[in-house]
Amino acid sequence: MLRALWKIIALSCLVLTGSVALWKYQDHTAASREIARLEQKTQMLEQVVQRLGDEKRVAELLVTEQSDSSGTLQTTLLFVEYTRGGESLPPKVFTIEGKLAHVDAMVIKFDQHFVAEGDALRGHSIALFTKIYGDKQSPASAVNIDEPGKVPDIYNDADPKLAAFEQSLWNDFWRLAADEDFRKERGVRVAMGQGVWGMFEKDKLYRVTLEADGGLNLTAEPLRGIYREAMKKLH
């Protein structure tokens, strides 16, 4: 009788120990899953923040020559545009009157959820440069950056689907700017003209960037060695 009682007690202890171990295992597993879920959520939020704060280089400019022999300062600018993939396009040369250069563009900003999700077509604002002119010129005398009626150079080697989508937006740009319902239909938040301008001097590199969820920015930095060597060859 006593032996049977001890067996029952021993079995009860084993069952209790097993139950505690199982509970701890399940609790640990649940905690691990919750930690993994929270880590995944944090990574997703970090990616969203990164996408919203992303900024791409879209053009670079530098002064190749400045002369006032005609009585008005003439500034010659080397303009290099970059594709969505970051590839540089053949440089263009523009001569403006004055030291202040204005670079005009059309800018389209997409609904923020497309940017946050990294949408293939609407995951980043887009810009199309239009004209360039100096402070001693009127906007009406500005020089076209791309040849009118021609497909802009940035689409020469672009993905056909992406190029077709963006060109359809440029074709309807002014309708997008004026028609809120049409913007919503196309997933566009803002369509507007924007210009960047500043004092352009020799021995500096001017960079135009485009924010994923915003517009254009212009910054300047000292000219690097590789550009100095290229400038020597030009002269």
> What does the pLDDT average to over 179-204?
97
Cite the DSSP H helix spans in the chain.
2-53, 112-117, 160-171, 173-178, 180-186, 225-234
- 64 and 47 together in one domain: no
- 18 and 90 together in one domain: no
Range of the domain at 15: 1-53
pLDDT 10s digits, 133-182: 999 999 999 999 988 777 788 887 788 999 999 999 999 999 999 999 99
Average pLDDT taken over every residue of the chain? 82
- 48 and 60 together in one domain: no
- 36 and 133 together in one domain: no
Which one has a higher pLDDT value, 173 or 6? 173
**Above 60 in pLDDT, residue 202?**
yes
Choose the final residue of a domain: 31, 53, 75: 53
- 223 and 126 together in one domain: yes
Choose the final residue of a domain: 38, 53, 68: 53
Which one has a higher pLDDT value, 217 or 31? 217
- 60 and 40 together in one domain: no
Which one has a higher pLDDT value, 103 or 27? 103
- Report the alpha-carbon angle 174-180-185, nearest 5: 95
57: left (phi over 0), alpha (psi -120 to 50) or beta: beta
- 120 and 181 together in one domain: yes
For residue 19, how far is the Cα from the chain centroid? 56
The CB-side HSE value for 208 (13 A sphere, CA atoms) comes to 28
Number of structural domains (the chain) is 2
- 65 and 99 together in one domain: yes
- 105 and 29 together in one domain: no
- 79 and 116 together in one domain: yes
**Above 60 in pLDDT, residue 27?**
no
- 20 and 122 together in one domain: no
In this predicted structure, what is the pLDDT of residue 85?
Answer: 83
Q: 180: which 2 tokens?
A: 């809120």
> What does the pLDDT average to over 101-128?
94
- 62 and 43 together in one domain: no
Residues 6+ apart with CB under 8 A from 209: 55, 56, 57, 58, 216, 217, 219
